[in-house]
Amino acid sequence: MTRAGIYNHAFALKDKTDKVSVVNRFSGEACETTELIAYLINWVYQTSNKYEAGDFSVKVSDFDRIRYFINEIDSNAYMNCID
């Protein structure tokens, strides 16, 4: 998360247990998850958009690590919003 530039914000959210809704940007399907996972899912979406626009400032390996982290922590949110 440090190399991706999101460590400080993610660290601030790590202990929050409130549930929030996050929506799959393609299917519109929503799921409940923690603020940290919702933040990371939105980061994945934003980073994907940047890649499509030609901004390759985040390494693919770091991008994938964030995706794997989401899956490890909340597989339901991963399956509904990332996979």
Which tens digits make up the pLDDT trace of 7-54? 566 777 777 888 999 999 999 999 999 999 999 999 999 999 999 999
Within the chain, what is the greatest distance between any pair of CA atoms? 35
pTM: 0.86
Report the candidate in 62, 64, 68 with the shortest Cα–Cα distance to residue 5. Answer: 62
pLDDT value of position 51: 95
Three-state DSSP at 60 gives helix
Which tens digits make up the pLDDT trace of 32-41? 999 999 999 9
Report the C-alpha gap between 11 and 44 in whole angstroms.
17
What is the pLDDT confidence band of residue 3, given thresholds at 50, 70 and 90?
low
Burial of 66 (0-12, 13-18, 19+ CB in 10 A): buried
Three-state DSSP at 3 gives coil
